[in-house]
Structure 1
Amino acid sequence: MSSRTMCITQEGPANALALNKDYSQVVIAGRNVFKVFSIEEDEFVENCNLRVGKNLNLNFSCNDVAWNTIEDHILATAATNGAVVLWNLNRLSRSKQEHVFMDHKRTVNKVSFHTSEPTWLISGSQDGTMKCFDLRTREATRTFYSNTESVRDVQFSPHLHHTFAAVSENGNVQLWDLRRPDRCYQQFTAHSGPIFACDWHPEVTWLATASRDKTIKVWDLAGKPSLEYTIHTIASVGHIKWRPQRKYHIASCALVVDCSINVWDVRRPYIPFAAFNEHKDVATGVAWRGDPHVFLSTSRDCTLYQHVFQDATRPASKANPQAISLNSKGDVAYACQVNMNPVRGSAKLSGILRKAPPHSEQFCQVNSVMHRFLSKNPREMRCFHECARRYILTGRPLSDICDHNAAVAKDLNRQHVSLVWSVVKTLYSSKVGDFGQQTPSGNVSREETGLGVPQTTLGTSTGAEPISTGVGGDGDQHSLLGGGGGETPGGAMSAGEDETETDETPEQHFNGRIGLGNLSIPQGDFFFGDGEMDPLSVDFDRMNNGMMGMSLSNGLLGGSHILLDAQVQQDWTLPSEAFPLRHEIQDRSPPPEQFPNHGSPDLNDHDSQAVTVEDQPSSLLNVTTVPQIGLWDPSHIMVEMLKHHASLGDVQTSASVLLALGDQRRSLTTLDEATQEQWLLGYLDTLTRYRLWDVGTQVIQLAWIPSVMQLNQQSTTVHTSCGHCSKLLQRTGWLCDRCHSSECAMCSVCHQVVRGLYAWCQGCSHGGHLAHLQEWWQVNKQCPTGCGHICEYS
């Protein structure tokens, strides 16, 4: 027997191939090719071209071909026009066509000879029937009805003389007895999609099936059908064939995508035992030459190949030996690479004690070992589940969210997580102070600077410059003045008003705190009464060194100073005033006409009394050295905290804090989007393991990363089926396209077709209009159809 890889190219693709009983010849058949080749040592030699004659009709267009296992000169083909054609290679004429069976109404998909009865031929057709032909009488002796749309493959059993298996497009496997054509004696659903091929194991009562659902399944049919092995592939499987003399090996080829022919060991179903990559298009047939090391194949690339196992690639040798997996209980499975080289001293001993495995037991040597680590602490599982259920991520102020989530974590004895939420509240939800929450009427003008610090201007009457606190200004000596009471600008008292020292002044003053970022500096309270106002002096050097311990510039106001030029320019006095007069303020601030109350009584009006100003030092506050307060940004602390918890495996806390922060997460500039996406997807994956679908949906809705937001934008459709013919109702939910019946959508109360929202009882499957059922169950408990079921609406 030839033992080298070789091929031959044809004028058209072949759909199938078959070998004669001594494996010396091969026949290939397709729509435009039908030839017999002798298999020589180094090449294929064409023996006969069966596609000859004057009338080349559809009988020559073949879907499948079979070679008689006893009579070496008899062939059978399945034609696309519904014909089953017999061919006799011993005919002396040029045309080898022996007989045509026209019993099927649609395309024939498969033909198969009995393994021990040379006159028995069975076929499976697109019309859903199977027919058994007797080659002696030249007629179909039995017809088997599968009650399916199409029969894709039929195979006689090598173990039971009168049994054959048939697979259909509805995913069912049927076992028939030739002596009982009225019904199959066993039927079961093997796949979720159409089954394209099946093959009996030559040694044991196993039946392998191949389907569009990308799996190959091995069923033990010795008793009740039981699934023994499942092989997962990357594409729909079109053809399969057991490897001779190897109990656990099976060859397969795909319908689409994959051009390789893979030989699988069913005990390791996720990676092929061997792969043959010679074809440039998908393979259409596989046939073993009776030798486990040699097989033939055809393909859509118009080639016929002979493959030798020594030329195969071994995907298992290139597989990654390391892997890890976790389950929802916290268990870890870990596979790692190990050294499989035996010790020299023990090699001879192991060879004596261990029996050499037979050829059928040989397996690719494993160079990895798997370890399993079981979690013995169910508390973490419960804490994760409870936190996911009870956490609040949106809908409330951030301070309330942090308080609630901290309480949840503390209740579950997760003190460190509770502390995290408390820190988030302190850093991101504290009130920012102002220079005054209640301002005197008309005399305070505030503008928000770019750094979020109020800019306040205190105005006075004409003739006096306003007090301005803001960015800019020069001078060696600066004064900070507190605001006084009164309705006039800046607390100045007009000489023309009939006010006495006993009049009550409105309580319109500052709230006593100057807001600097997240800090609040006491400002002091000013009291005005019958006596003189006590001077207020503050030692800023002491505050800078001991009490405050921070700098006032180079941070909050960008390195600028708050300047109040308060040098005394002239002396002035006010009669009938009971407290020391203030000095006049002169600086480069805008004139008082720009302020709303510029119409207040003017101190320098010609009708007012004369004012004499004398030089005197500032009686309120002298500043010789301006302290500096730096701006503290907590974002880097927050990022480090979130990364710390993620590194501990607590991705729930990291993701939940990000979701609760909302738009404030934009300040975390050092946290890249890829890390945030990793945390969110990890949290969603863990929620899925715990089946917390509602919490996962909320996380997706609150997500700000496009790849996460799009996870729930893919709709899921679940079709209902017709109650009569079981066909999926894909076009409409109330009318079957096959039997044109709408009885499955009838309302049990009004007996009309429900064309909108349909509700039904999961106990008895009866239903109808939602409104009608609500009215019915308000006064009744049993089903309106009279089936006797106690229905309940919730």
Structure 2
Amino acid sequence: MREVGAVSSSSTDAYGTGRSWVLNGPLNALSPSPNGECVVVAGREVLKILRVGESKITERLNLRSGSRSNLNYASNDVVWVTDQRVVTAATNGAIVLWDLNRPSQRLVEAVMQGHSRAVSRLATLSCGIPILLSASLDGTVKLWDLRDGRGKSARLTMDGKSESVRDVQFSPSSLHTFSAAYEDGCVQLWDLRKPRTFFKKIAAHYKAALTLDWHSNGQMIATGGKDRLIKVWDVHESVGHAPKASREIQTAQSVVRVRWRPGREDELASCALQSDLRIHVWDTMRPFIPKYTIDQHTAPTTCFIWRGPNSLWSCGRDKCFWISERDFPGQFSRPLDWLNTTCAAFNAQGDVAFAIGEKKTLHPRATPVERFYGLQEQPQGIAQQVGVADMGLFDESIFRHLAYTYQVTQGIGEACERNALAATKVGQYREAQTWRIIQSLYDEEEEDENEEEEKDTEKEKGQGSIEEKEKEEDMLEVEEREEREGFLHEVLTYYAEQGNVQMCTTLLLLLEGRIIRAPTYAEEWISGYIDLLRRFRLWSVATAVTSACQIRRIREQTHVETTIYTTCNHCFKPIANAGGGYWMCERCRKLLNPCSICHQTVKGLYVWCQGCSHGGHLEHMHHWFNQAGQQECPTGCGHKCTF
């Protein structure tokens, strides 16, 4: 048996810099050797074995040396099966088995054909048995036995009746169990002893599920997808009911790889499909900010593996293979150290939540390198303190009372009188006085309008005064209106400075037809008041305010479409023909939401069990469980339903 390290290859398009190595093409995957001394890296143009030493990285073997330009060697994934055997997944659907004991010109042991589209991911058993799983874009997962002469054809083919398979992985606690991630966002769990169908299905993501990883305890699975979410599922707690994610992490970009951190049961790492070039290490118990960030690559990271709790190997589209270690200065940075630890925020009730953080100072004897990388930091002063202060600026009960009792649709005099009484009842005397002043001002305006109508009537009878007198009265009337409007603007400005958007909005809506020049911030005041109403769930009042407002952008909120689009409960595709009067999926040709008893589509009130997801007409299900005294699901699935 020939040692891998004894084979060398001279190359002018690859070079190393300490703990990194640059190759001649973008990299898609990597896999360490069983003894941990070497790593194989693969891409569309690259397939090489590197020796990882304590101080440097060297190239030991180029598997594509010579004239190997066949599509079988353009690799999407690679795994190291045994000490001297490597398997690659090709973009044309082929699986290539490499025997490193052979001469350099005949390293290919077998080319296994079985998939009709590209193979996206490979997986092997952690115990060392040469059994291989291949996931393909053709929607199938195949099992290959790589023991002597047995890998010519697939031993098993698992069809999940779904879309493309993006990732596959064996369970670390069972030789027969594996999980697969699909393009439609679901994750399926399979038992190789029952390969005809999966035994559990998880609706993990609402977009494509791109990656998954089993926890070392064999109880949990972490998944990542194009919806920019990382979710953790306890696959054994969800027996008998629909699975729910126990933890969830929102990321900035689509998640292409996720891996649990060894020795840290609540921590995992992820990398993005595009844009975000970094590897983030997350604490799932604090999912809002990464615990560590590894920023080594200059292009998106495509694959990484943990080599212990503090060492990580990665490759990317920048043609680089990197070794990142937490003990090396500057490689594992902490985003939490970049944030300001002192902050404050108001809530809807006017309370102030605050956090007062400590400042870190460097040890006076720290070297320039330690100062640059932030080593030997010693906190000075007290630890971070948090609290909530009641500022007494807002009373929710008063706000609710006035929201329900303020009038904006009646006559000005009557509405001002009712609003003044409502403000007086809750002790808001300044607001009550304002309403009475507004009432007196605009009552005089109504009297002036009545007198003008009488003068017009007298003029028609030939008893009108001279035109000069009419002009003087018109000028006086314009001046009075300008004075009233100027006073109103001062009142609005005062309450806006006090933060009382309720008073500003009510005044604007009540006097909307009387104001010639609307204030500049009228739209912001009304929008802020509607937002407050919705925060306190005063939906009817918010709707009334929106309908009464004449500002176009606010009234458009009442024109938003409220159509609910449904999906097929069999194939989970959108129902495009639901508005046509019949309820059947055009894709799978099955009835939607059929009753478990009468087997007809439920077009009225539909009830279902949260455990088995079966249901039907309310009357039929009520008769089955209450009058007939049944406990199990009428479909025969065996689940004891609760209604």
> In 1, are the aligned partners of 2:224 and 2:258 still within 8 Å (CA)?
yes
Q: Identity, % of aligned pairs?
A: 32
Q: 728-737 vs 94-103, which deviates more?
A: 728-737
Is the alpha carbon distance of 1:390 and 1:133 closer, same or farther for their aligned partners in structure 2, counting shifts above 3 Å?
farther
> What corresponds to 2:144 in structure 1?
133
Report the RMSD for the aligned CA atoms in angstroms: 4.3
| Separation of aligned partners in 1, 2:511 and 2:221 | 59
Q: Is the 8 A contact 1:16 1:285 kept in 2?
A: yes
Structure with a larger share of its residues in helix:
2
Structure 1 residue 244 corresponds to structure 2 residue 90:
no
Q: In 1, distance between residues paired with 2:526 and 2:33?
A: 61
Q: Tell whether the 8 Å contact from 1:5 to 1:306 is kept in structure 2 after alignment.
A: no
1:170 CA drift (Å): 3.2
Deviations 1:461-517 (A, max 9, x none): xxxxxxxx74xxxxxxxxxxxxxxxxxxxxxxxxxxxxxxxxxxxxxxxxxxx7885
Matching residue within 314, 325, 333 for 1:297:
314
**Retained in 2: the 8 A contact 1:402–1:424?**
yes
Partner residue of 1:59 out of 72, 78, 82: 72
Any stretches of 5+ residues in structure 2 without a counterpart?
1-15, 362-378, 595-600, 609-615, 624-643
8 A Cα contact 1:392 1:401, kept in partner: yes
Contact kept? 1:207, 1:221, Cα under 8 Å: yes
Whether the 8 Å contact between 1:63 and 1:110 is mirrored in structure 2 is: yes
1:104 matched residue in structure 2: 115
Deviations 1:178-216 (A, max 9, x none): 323234333333333322111123357332111222221
Asked if structure 2 preserves the Cα contact closer than 8 Å seen for 1:5 and 1:305, the reply is no
Q: Does 1:258 align with 2:273?
A: no
Provide closer, same or farther for how the CA distance between residues 186 and 725 of structure 1 changes in structure 2, counting only shifts above 3 A.
Answer: closer
Query: In the alignment, which residue of structure 2 is the partner of 1:85?
Result: 96
Are the equivalent residues in 1 in contact too, given 2:279–2:295 (CA < 8 A)?
A: yes
Q: Distance in 1 between matches of 2:73 and 2:542?
A: 59
What amino acid does structure 2 have at the position aligned with 1:369? Q
Aligned to 2:225: 211
The alignment partner of 1:424 has SS state of: helix
Q: Does 1:48 align with 2:61?
A: yes
Could you tell me which residue of structure 2 aligns to residue 371 of structure 1? 387
Equivalence for 1:530: none
Whether 1:633 and 2:483 are equivalent positions in the alignment is yes
The TM-score with structure 2 as length reference comes to: 0.74
1:572 counterpart residue number: none
Q: For the residues of structure 2 that align with 1:697 and 1:201, how far apart are their CA atoms?
A: 49
Q: Is the 8 A contact 1:335 1:368 kept in 2?
A: no
Which amino acid letter does the alignment assign opposite residue 739 of structure 1? C
Please state if 1:662 is matched with 2:508.
no
Range with bigger deviation, 30-39 or 384-393: 384-393
Task: For residue 268 of structure 1, report the CA deviation from its aligned partner.
Answer: 1.9
Tell me whether 1:25 sits opposite 2:24 in the alignment: no
Post-superposition Cα deviations, 1:435-458, rounded to whole Å, max 9, x if no partner, equal 8725354464676xxxxxxx426x
Alpha-carbon deviation of 1:724? 5.0
Q: In 2, Cα distance between the equivalents of 1:221 and 1:723?
A: 22
Q: CA deviation at 1:658?
A: 2.2
Deviations 1:315-335 (A, max 9, x none): 11122334455666x384613
Contact conserved, 2:569 with 2:593, CA < 8 A, in 1? no
Greater Rg by CA: 1
* Structure 2 residue corresponding to 1:722, chosen from 559, 564, 568: 568
Give the deviation of 1:173 after TM superposition: 2.8
Q: 1:189 to 1:725 in 2, by over 3 A?
A: closer
Match of 2:587 among 710, 727, 738: 738
What's the secondary structure of 1:456's corresponding residue?
helix
- CA–CA separation in structure 1 for the residues paired with 2:543 and 2:429: 28
Structure-2 residue corresponding to 1:73: 84
Q: Is 1:685 matched with 2:528?
A: no
CA contact (8 A) 2:606 2:617 kept: no
Supply the AA of the counterpart residue of 1:721: T
Correspondence list, 1:418-429, <5 A: 418-428=432-442
Q: 1:649 to 1:124 in 2, by over 3 A?
A: same
Question: Given residue 738 of structure 1, which amino acid in structure 2 is its aligned partner?
Answer: R
| Equivalenced residues, count | 561
Structure 2 CA distance for partners of 1:211 and 1:682, relative to 1, 3 Å: same
Q: Is the 8 A contact 2:171 2:218 kept in 1?
A: no
**Partner of residue 195 from structure 2, selected from 171, 181, 184:** 181
Q: What is the identity, as a one-letter code, of the residue corresponding to 2:79? A: A
For residues 212-231 of structure 1, what are the structure 2 equivalents within 5 Å?
Answer: 212-221=226-235, 223-224=237-238, 227-231=245-249
Change (3 A) 1:258 1:55: closer
- On the 8 A contact 2:166/2:210 being kept in 1, the answer is yes
Structure 1 contact 720–733 (Cα < 8 Å) conserved: no
Contact 1:327–1:689 (Cα < 8 Å) also in 2: no
Q: 1:341 to 1:80 in 2, by over 3 A?
A: closer
In 2, Cα distance between the equivalents of 1:240 and 1:431?
72
Aligned-residue offset at 1:408: 5.3
**In the alignment, residue 148 of structure 1 is paired with which amino acid?**
S
| Letter of the 1:763 counterpart | Y
Q: Does structure 2 conserve the Cα–Cα contact (< 8 Å) formed by 1:15 and 1:285?
A: yes
Does the 8 Å CA contact 2:172/2:218 hold for their aligned counterparts? no
In structure 1, what is the equivalent of residue 156 of structure 2?
Answer: 142
- The answer to whether the Cα contact below 8 Å between 1:321 and 1:335 also exists between their aligned partners in 2 is no
Q: Does 1:121 align with 2:121?
A: no
Q: CA deviation at 1:135?
A: 0.9
Does the CA-based 8 Å contact 2:79-2:122 persist in structure 1? yes
Q: Is the 8 A contact 2:179 2:190 kept in 1?
A: yes
Aligned residue in 1 for 2:29:
16
Distance 1:702 1:100, change over 3 A: farther
Question: Is the 1:340–1:367 contact (alpha carbons within 8 Å) kept by the matching residues of 2?
Answer: no
Q: Is 1:335 the equivalent of 2:354?
A: yes
Cα distance in 1 for residues equivalent to 2:360 and 2:345: 27
Partner Cα distance (2:64, 2:382) in 1: 50
Please give the residue correspondences for 1:556-595 in structure 2 after superposition, counting only pairs within 5 Å: 556=479
Are the counterparts in 2 of residues 5 and 308 from structure 1 also a CA contact under 8 Å?
A: no
**Cα separation, 2, equivalents of 1:243 and 1:256:** 22
Q: Per-residue deviation at 1:111?
A: 0.6
Q: Note if contact 2:352-2:391 (Cα within 8 Å) is conserved in structure 1.
A: no
